[in-house]
Structure 1
């Protein structure tokens, strides 16, 4: 059993966790269940909040826009500081504390709703507080996985994490909307609060792995060290850039697809919804098949599947400009889900494998920060679609998807035959290569 230069076990497994070959040992199971409950609570609450704002408070477009901003802004503001905390403090305690924060925010929303004292500004503020907990949880979870399972089981563990997230992402908004419609906003927030409470209970069963070791500096120095490690790394840098460009192109499509589907493809509201649902269906299937695919293909080729799948999907979607075939659009959205979920699982495993334990939180935070591509892509879609038409926007996404595929295919990542082994800590060993 080798050790990393910061004193952590190189296989990343917590002592005595009992992890089995499926990555579901005693140490990992509480994280898997906690993740499922936490992600479900978040998605149901995010879906219910704007519906309640409109139905209960007659919120305007500007007010619901402000609410949505409050529910996404913490990912941009807090991701990097959260990464520093994850690398300085007990990850178990941070995750429990983050989920308690989400639980309390939902409980207060529920109490105010039941007493008739809830307003949309209070909903926005309390929603913002809850999402702050979500940011810390999102950064800490992948950083903790290597402490709970052996290195050889990282792919299986990450697949389980992503499958839960994907299931929540796919079903959560539908469940939240349905509960609001059938039983009212109070019932939706009660369900989200219950799930957040279950997440707290599961996370409290996590083993205490201790705080990562390493030099303590000022926060800015820690941020610079984490960013420098990722941006100078020959494997992690192209992954970050590819992910950012991919997110930009994907959200350009999502920004314009609904009016395009209705007006150009002649789809009904139901048909449009089912087509968009193929994105989630592809993600679920990809997450289920990921461990098997990663056993059959070289590691680097699995990483390349997502960007290439995205390019193929964009070409298919652009072809509907001439064919008008709705089923082709549905296939495109399926590919946009199935391929990229393999990307998420494989690149998360890559990041965990090559990043020293004391830097995992900051590396994970930079991955979360790449979510900033979402509003950029949506804005570009609205701009290009408004000025030049939806068709021009779809053609532009083909070029952008081609760029992200070219970036990753030209990188050394695709040449990796297997999951990389641990690297020396550059602080402890200044001459060590970061690749």
Structure 2
């Protein structure tokens, strides 16, 4: 597959930098919230778990409704409102912290409301990109987005920890708020072409249309089901990794942190080398690296049952970042090429629900399996799931795609191309 590299439009660069700022702010605030909970409220593990639920539940509750809004409203407005909501909640947290009246319940509520803004941005961003760049620039543009996300995942949590240590917990919220405001200022100058004037129809009809489109298009169905399966396996591992690393692999907290950070490094490396990969492989071949990376990562971690070493754990998390970021770049581009622009918000919301809906399923499976078969059973189950999703994608129409033009042809011919 050839990869066309050309200068991206200024409008995309503006929204891209806004996305970088927004994601950096999100990662700083996500890391700062549990720090505040522990340092200010001496929160228990159960309370920090509640805080994590508050940050993730909006993805399940609001992704579909937000997808409808993204397809019905001006997408620039949705982006600005979503980030304004996050900025306001962060500013409120600062005020309550400084005046020493913040309670744990308020921190949970602020996290929940801020996450609603994150949901809206996450659904709207993939819908905006195809309106700003040509089809042959989609992979280049999505690589740009993923590089920014990788940088935020690596630097955001570390920045929050340093700020909280040096200047106090509220300083991390100050930085996150400032980044949000800068992102909003970039969006205020953004010019997004309006969607086509399709007739306004009943909400349930719009939802059925998007669900039917996503399920009846084999390539999209493969992407949705693979995202669901991947995240089940990923959260089985996430649920037990720290306990397994400390108790079985005898890793120190520092080495556990290195292992977790390795996924961000893998993402950055994967995004950096993706142009070379897409030049040498077909579009479907590049996408297959995501499931292949997931299976390789699970296999590396399962190998620690025989050879308990932290090196294999770090390799595992590196692969968990490397393969999936290439999957994200390629499949987001495919989704954007296949989906009519007026339906992009709703189809993006289906992916968000599949991704985040799988996470509590994976965590619940880990809890159940660990009761009977311990962490060993969890690692073997996750490896089997990653093997199954690799086989599923390898035999699917997605693996046979040659180019974005072939992907777009699935609109007219659902058999793929």
Would you say the 8 A contact 1:143–1:352 is kept in 2? yes
In 1: Cα distance, 2:285 partner to 2:223 partner: 13
How many angstroms does 1:408 deviate by? 0.8
In 2: Cα distance, 1:290 partner to 1:58 partner: 43
In 1: Cα distance, 2:202 partner to 2:152 partner: 37
Q: SS state of the match for residue 306, structure 2?
A: helix
1:389 to 368, 374, 388: 374
In 2: Cα distance, 1:269 partner to 1:61 partner: 16
Q: Which ranges in structure 2 are unaligned for 5 or more consecutive residues?
A: none
Q: SS state of the match for residue 213, structure 1?
A: coil
Q: SS state of the match for residue 130, structure 2?
A: helix
Q: SS state of the match for residue 27, structure 1?
A: helix
In 1: Cα distance, 2:224 partner to 2:407 partner: 19
Q: SS state of the match for residue 323, structure 1?
A: coil
> 1:413 and 2:398 equivalent?
yes
Would you say the 8 A contact 1:354–1:422 is kept in 2? yes
Would you say the 8 A contact 2:135–2:404 is kept in 1? no
Residue of structure 1 in register with 2:294 after alignment: 310
Moved more, 365-374 or 77-86: 365-374
Residue of structure 2 in register with 1:137 after alignment: 121
Residue of structure 2 in register with 1:256 after alignment: 240
TM-score by length of 1: 0.91
How many angstroms does 1:240 deviate by? 0.7
1:372-383 counterparts in 2 under 5 A? 372-383=357-368
Would you say the 8 A contact 2:401–2:407 is kept in 1? no
1:347 to 331, 346, 352: 331
Residue of structure 2 in register with 1:167 after alignment: 151
In 1: Cα distance, 2:231 partner to 2:53 partner: 18
2:202 to 200, 218, 221: 218
1:84 to 68, 71, 83: 68
How many angstroms does 1:381 deviate by? 1.6
> 1:73 and 2:52 equivalent?
no
Residue of structure 2 in register with 1:271 after alignment: 255
Residue of structure 2 in register with 1:322 after alignment: 306
In 1: Cα distance, 2:82 partner to 2:275 partner: 29
Summarize the Cα distance change of 1:422–1:287 in structure 2 as closer, same or farther, 3 Å threshold: closer
Residue of structure 1 in register with 2:267 after alignment: 283
How many angstroms does 1:44 deviate by? 0.8
Would you say the 8 A contact 1:105–1:129 is kept in 2? yes
How many angstroms does 1:21 deviate by? 4.3
How many angstroms does 1:281 deviate by? 0.8
Q: Which has the higher helix share?
A: 2
How many angstroms does 1:60 deviate by? 3.4
Residue of structure 2 in register with 1:111 after alignment: 95
Moved more, 348-357 or 222-231: 222-231
Q: Which ranges in structure 1 are unaligned for 5 or more consecutive residues?
A: 1-19, 427-431
Q: SS state of the match for residue 405, structure 2?
A: coil
Aligned-residue CA RMSD in angstroms?
A: 1.8
In 1: Cα distance, 2:338 partner to 2:105 partner: 44
In 2: Cα distance, 1:322 partner to 1:338 partner: 24
In 1: Cα distance, 2:112 partner to 2:301 partner: 35
TM-score by length of 2: 0.94
How many angstroms does 1:23 deviate by? 5.0
1:153-192 counterparts in 2 under 5 A? 153-192=137-176
> 1:146 and 2:130 equivalent?
yes
What number of residue pairs does the alignment pair up? 411
In 2: Cα distance, 1:178 partner to 1:117 partner: 24
Residue of structure 1 in register with 2:386 after alignment: 401
Summarize the Cα distance change of 1:293–1:424 in structure 2 as closer, same or farther, 3 Å threshold: closer
